[in-house]
Structure formats: structure tokens, C-alpha cells
Amino acid sequence: MPHPIPGGPSMTRRTALALGGAGLLTATLAACARGTDTRPSAPGTVTLNSDNPTWGPGYDAASDVLAARIGYRITSRSIASVANYNQIIRMTAQTNSTTDLIKWTNGYRLQDIARADILTDLNEVWDDAIGRGWVDPAQRASFTYEGKAYGVPLYKSYYAVFYSKRAFAENGIDVPTTFDDLMSAAQTLKDAGITPFLAPGATTWESEIWFMQLLASLDPDYYAAVTTNQASYVDDPARAAMDLWSTMYSDGFFSAPDVTSNDLPGLVSEGRFGMMLYGTWFANTLLASGLTDDDIGFFRVPPHASSTAPAVIVESGSLSVPVKAHRRDAAVDVARNWLATDVQEAWVGFLGDTSPNPAALPKSDLVKDLAAGIAAEGPTELIRYWEASPTPLVEGNVQDLGSFMVTPSKAHGESTLRSMEARARTEWKIWDAA
């Protein structure tokens, strides 16, 4: 019998068989390991799928109250990548490996999947909630498709300016009440060597933030019209907005467009933070990094002219129930009770944000005054651009806006609007045809 030919660590047949056998055994044992999350949920719980892993403790807090009310808890699972999450929901919601509840967006993105008849009609849940004063009836429209509501508000955030109290105090700036005040506040900060506005968005969805806010301050009715295909992107209000934006850039009011919002806590601790226009859900991050009421305040961007009605941009996610959910009735029950005041108080207590239920005030002081101001003044609520039009249109336009932020000249503003309008013509035709 020939001996193993030398020439390196010899792989005798025995070793090879041993390795192969071990591998096979391991693989077989591994086959027994199924995911803990994809098994049907334990009794007394409903599963929720979301794309935000950091909200787990919030669902737990809300579940404590829900368990007391209806005997059901929420176990949440998350898929960290937003793009993957979207695809997975689209795929699983058509099968019965879906979770009982899903987190989604409202507006046209909700309509997109509602059209496929995979979500449960929640009209009676809305009737119930409105009857009990748990939610603002005006929100219903953005959750509705062809007369049926397909989700309840999971959260409700406003777009407001986060400002550094220390920077304002040190430079003698008062909270602006008019648009001109805002511009001079920015100028003062700039003169003091602080970048006035932290404005991310070169390659992300955030490029829409200033676009939608400037439109809201200039002409809220136009914003509502252009996002529902009743106005053109090259009309005067849009051009005025892009001109204004371009001017603010040339005045040096904005940071470079490739900053990230996560820089904010560090900048605050270095005393180099001025302002940032963002969604109030971001308060959660600030709380987690240890910032308090003494560091950060909020105010809404005032209307551009005193004759314009005040408006504020709202972002609201949707809690929806797939038709093929295992525990569909329990999930609908959870949706029905989600807006209850005590559940919402537990929820926003964690989030630090405002609640869709006007009676549930945020525990965190950071947002409380803002919420109170909005409740008192009652501005027009406009839906965030991300959901305000069909998805492909918004995705393409947001990319154009990001490109504008990199080269914010007036000429580029004009060509950006033309590009957005061209896309709108194509995409609205496709949406209406489907």
C-alpha cells in the first residue's frame, strides 16, 4: 500500500473523512436550529416587523400597557436596512410567513401596497379612535386608499428647527418668530464662527427637508397641489423656493451637504452647533446621547410673509395589519388600542416625540413646548414629501435635490426643477394608469 506522498501537510484519507464527517454532523445539527423569530408567536403576543431596531424598548413599554388593556403584548423584530425591509415586507405580506403587524409609511407609499389587497381594512378602528378623541381626524386622509383606511398612525413627528440654547444665549439671539428673524439669527451665528444650519442630504432622503420646508413657508397650498399633480414644479412658488435656498447657500448659512445628523451631539459638546431642521423623532437619538432640555430647543420655521398661513410638515408612520397575519384579530385589536392615551403615553415616553393622540403629551421636555405651540396655533399640517407623491417620483426627485445641494447655484436650481417636472409627467401617468 503506497504511503502518502510527502509534500506538505499531508491530508490522509482518514483526516479527510473525519473532517467531512464532522462537517456533515454539524450541518445536520444546525438544521435543527430554526429562527426564534419566525416561529408562530407565543400565545398572548403579536409579532411586529419594523425597520428600526432601536425602538424595541418603546414597544415593550407600550406592551406593558396593552397587556393590561387587552391581554396582548407586541414582540418586535427588525430588519436594519430600509431597502431590504421594504422588499421583505412586499414579499412576506403576500404569504403567511408575515408578522401580525407591520410598520410602514403612510401616504402614497401605503397606497402602493394597499392596492395589492394585502392589508386589512381598518375603517372601524379609525371611527372608534376618532369617536374617542384619540386622534386628529385630519390625519385619516393620508392613511386612506379608495375610501378605506389601511393603517393607524404609529407615530407622529413634526419638522422643526433644533437649536443650541447655548449658542443662542451666547450670541444674544432670541427664538425667531418671523422668517427675517431666522435669517438674521443665521447671520449672527455665521459671524460668530458657527455653521448656522447643519444640513445633510447630498445622497440621502434628507435633501427633501429644506425643499419642503421652504415651500411650506412660502405657499402651503402650492405644496399640497404640486404633490398631488395639480401644479407644476416650474411654477413660481417652486422657483421662489429654489432661489431662496440658493441664496441661503451663497450666504454661507448651510454646512457641507455630506454631514450626518449623528454629528449633532458631538458638535453640541464642542459648542459648535447652531441649528438643524429635522424631524422631532430625532429627539430620541439626542436623549440617548445624554442631551437635555438645557442644551436643545425647538421652534418651527415661520412663514415667509406675515400674510401666509402657518404650516408645518408632519411625518407619520403607519401600523398596519397584513391580511394573512396569523393572529389577525388580535393584531386589529392592538391597532384599535394603539392610540389609547395611556398606551401612547408609554410609547412617546420612550420616543421623546409627539404623539398622534393630542392628549398624550411627550414626557420629554425637549419636545413639549413645541407640541403645546402647535396645539395652540393649529397650523396647516402638510405631509412629508417622502410620502406625498408616488414612490418612484419622490425617489428620483430627491436624488435631483441632493445633486442641487452639492452645486446650489440659481441656474442649477432652475434645471433641477425642470428635471423634477419632466419626471412628474412620466410618473403620474404611470401611477394613474395602474
Task: For the segment 190-219, give every residue that binds another protein (CB under 8 A).
Answer: 202-204
Q: Considering the rule CB under 8 A, would residue 379 count as an interface residue with another protein?
A: no
User: CB of 141: closest distance to another protein in angstroms?
Assistant: 23
Q: Which residue among 260, 309, 375, 422 contacts another protein (CB under 8 A)?
A: 260
Q: Considering the rule CB under 8 A, would residue 16 count as an interface residue with another protein?
A: yes
Q: Considering the rule CB under 8 A, would residue 319 count as an interface residue with another protein?
A: no
Q: Which residue among 123, 232, 247, 399 contacts another protein (CB under 8 A)?
A: 399
User: CB of 86: closest distance to another protein in angstroms?
Assistant: 7
Q: Which is nearer to another protein, 177 or 409 (CB)?
A: 409
Segment lying near another protein (by CB under 8 A), choices 165-173, 218-226, 245-253, 263-271: 263-271
Q: Which residues pair with 276 in a beta bridge?
A: 162
Q: Which residues pair with 277 in a beta bridge?
A: 161
User: What's the CA gap between 50 and 34, in Å, rounded?
Assistant: 21
Q: Footprint of another protein on residues 272-291 (CB under 8 A)? A: 272, 284-285, 288-290
User: What's the CA gap between 340 and 133, in Å, rounded?
Assistant: 9
How many other C-beta atoms can be found within 10 angstroms of the C-beta atom of residue 9?
6
User: What's the CA gap between 146 and 59, in Å, rounded?
Assistant: 30
Q: Considering the rule CB under 8 A, would residue 250 count as an interface residue with another protein?
A: no
How distant, in Å, are the alpha carbons of 43, 95, 97, 171, 256 from that of 326?
A: 11, 11, 9, 58, 48
Q: Considering the rule CB under 8 A, would residue 415 count as an interface residue with another protein?
A: no
User: CB of 209: closest distance to another protein in angstroms?
Assistant: 14
| Beta strands 45-50; 101-105: pairing state | parallel
Q: Footprint of another protein on residues 66-95 (CB under 8 A)? A: 77-84, 86-88, 90-92, 94-95
Q: Considering the rule CB under 8 A, would residue 133 count as an interface residue with another protein?
A: no
Longest dimension (CA), the chain: 100
Q: Which residue among 257, 297, 303, 413 contacts another protein (CB under 8 A)?
A: 257
Q: What ranges in 192-307 are assigned the alpha helix state H?
A: 208-218, 220-227, 236-250, 264-269, 283-288
Q: Considering the rule CB under 8 A, would residue 409 count as an interface residue with another protein?
A: no
Q: Residue 160 is inside which H or E element, if any?
A: strand 152-164
Q: Footprint of another protein on residues 26-45 (CB under 8 A)? A: 26-27, 30-31, 33-38
Q: Considering the rule CB under 8 A, would residue 232 count as an interface residue with another protein?
A: no
Q: Considering the rule CB under 8 A, would residue 378 count as an interface residue with another protein?
A: no
Q: Which is nearer to another protein, 237 or 257 (CB)?
A: 257
Q: Which is nearer to another protein, 86 or 337 (CB)?
A: 86
Q: Do residues 145 and 278 make contact, with C-beta atoms less than 8 angstroms apart?
A: no
User: What's the CA gap between 350 and 256, in Å, rounded?
Assistant: 32
Q: Which is nearer to another protein, 230 or 407 (CB)?
A: 407
User: CB of 212: closest distance to another protein in angstroms?
Assistant: 18
User: What's the CA gap between 188 and 184, in Å, rounded?
Assistant: 6
Q: Record the cell numbers describing residue 265, joined without a space.
A: 451631539
Q: Do residues 125 and 337 make contact, with C-beta atoms less than 8 angstroms apart?
A: no
User: CB of 5: closest distance to another protein in angstroms?
Assistant: 6
User: What's the CA gap between 154 and 381, in Å, rounded?
Assistant: 17
